[in-house]
Structure 1
Amino acid sequence: MTSTPTPTFSDHARAPKQGRSRQSFERIIEATIELLRERGYDQITLAEICERSGVSTGSLYGRVAGKDELLRVVQLRFLDRLGEQFTEEATRISSQAQGLQQVVPAVVASLGRLLKENASVLRAFMLRAPADPVIQAQGQKAAERDSAKFLNLLEACSAEVRHSQPQRAIQSGMLIIYSTQARFLGLDSVGGRGQGSWDALLEDLSDMMLAFLLFEPAR
């Protein structure tokens, strides 16, 4: 079974060949990310992106066909950077935390921080995904890639898990943690945001995950 090739910029945009053109396109990408941190994708226009980046509209259309194609390029760049952050956090936790009692809360906190800090941009991708299969596929692939980095940390502690199927328990627990955090931050298909204390939610998720992994079912 062959794996799906990882998308690149050239799949969505005409790659700039000259140094100045590359710099201009980088400014377009950065301007788009900045604007997505400020408001929703539907509230941003290409004219605003060009104004923010200092690049002409003609130059923008020389690289991409339109706004939706630009978002695909921006998503690739943004998720690559987010992946690096996940790697850094996983490395930090691996060096500082030992055993489930330390690793679980560290993973819950790190995942929550990364999602919260990038929620506004991630929300743009998630809300666009149902109408754009490319956005959806790129997002799913990155999510699987990044979640695996934290799953590996938990699976390294699998000897402490009392569930008869440690890997299943760890994967199910992480799915619940991610889904709950995403729902609270408005990153799911419903689009609503949770009420209450974010810090309390992280503490409760850590406690529930530990209780679940250390619980020995009778069956």
Structure 2
Amino acid sequence: MSTATHHTEALALQALSRKPRQGRSLASFERMLEATKALMIETGGDSFTLQDVSERGQVSIGSIYLRFESKDRLLHAVIAEELQTILAKERAMFDEVLAETSSLGEFLPLYIARYSTFLEEHAPLLRTIMARAEVDPAVSEPGKETARRSSEMSIAAILRFRDEIKSADPEAKALAVFQIIFATIARQFGLGSTPESSDPYLWGFIKDEIAKMALAYLRHAD
């Protein structure tokens, strides 16, 4: 089990007071999580009540307290689920991109396009998780470990084309390329301290140019 998975699963287990069983209890539990997730995205944080969750998820307050002893624990469960989902979907995304490409020139533009779509999809909830991690120690470590595992997957994917990287230290170049790509995408979708205005036309141009710059950098001999 990876460290990221360990911390995230621990967060999920600690959040629950009582595990749901199959049938109606499981369906009710899933509605709690979905309602909470929707409210987190809508409010940009946690400025909602358990009554709001109850009404949105069509579950009783008693049912919520049966599973979670507090609103914080419910938030932790949602965050843990999202972090686990992110890693699973990211692995699948990389498997698909690597299966479709056979060179750096093919990989980089497809990777950037798919990765940006992936982060855009999860950005609304990721922003709330990042904000929560700044003030909640229980979320901070799972968030950091998930981010590290995510970066490791990107770097490992780039290094699949190690033979094309002109450097005595290909790992350092792969890390630099990932950091540039992530920072640019994160800025586009507001995954940072200050959300940026999104410009779809400009982003369409920039992500193509980033792929060209990254390819030139990786293939340039030190």
- TM-score computed with the length of structure 2 as normaliser: 0.87
Q: Give the Cα–Cα distance (whole angstroms) in 2 for the partners of residues 173 and 194 of structure 1.
A: 24
Deviation, 1:45, is 2.7
User: What is the letter of the counterpart of residue 88 of structure 1?
Assistant: A
The equivalent residue for 1:185 is 189
Q: Give the Cα–Cα distance (whole angstroms) in 2 for the partners of residues 134 and 17 of structure 1.
A: 22
Q: Give the Cα–Cα distance (whole angstroms) in 2 for the partners of residues 136 and 198 of structure 1.
A: 30
- What stretches of structure 1 move > 6 A for 4+ residues in a row? none
Q: Structure 1 residue 73 and structure 2 residue 73: aligned? A: no
Q: Give the Cα–Cα distance (whole angstroms) in 1 for the partners of residues 134 and 50 of structure 2.
A: 22
Q: Give the Cα–Cα distance (whole angstroms) in 2 for the partners of residues 47 and 111 of structure 1.
A: 36
Give secondary structure in 2 for the equivalent of 1:216.
coil
Deviation, 1:65, is 2.9
Instruction: Identify unmatched segments of 5+ residues in structure 2.
Output: none
User: What is the letter of the counterpart of residue 154 of structure 2?
Assistant: F
Deviation, 1:17, is 4.6
Deviation, 1:122, is 0.7
Deviation, 1:10, is 2.0
The sequence identity of aligned pairs, in percent, is 28
CA RMSD of aligned residues (A): 2.1
User: What is the letter of the counterpart of residue 160 of structure 2?
Assistant: A
Question: Paired residue for 1:11, among 10, 14, 30?
Answer: 14
Q: Which one scores higher on RCO, CA 8 angstroms, separation ≥ 6?
A: 2
Q: Give the Cα–Cα distance (whole angstroms) in 2 for the partners of residues 201 and 39 of structure 1.
A: 30
Instruction: Identify unmatched segments of 5+ residues in structure 1.
Output: none
Deviation, 1:95, is 1.2
Question: Paired residue for 2:132, among 128, 138, 149?
Answer: 128
User: What is the letter of the counterpart of residue 13 of structure 2?
Assistant: S
User: What is the letter of the counterpart of residue 215 of structure 2?
Assistant: L
Q: How many residues are paired up?
A: 215
Q: Structure 1 residue 96 and structure 2 residue 120: aligned? A: no
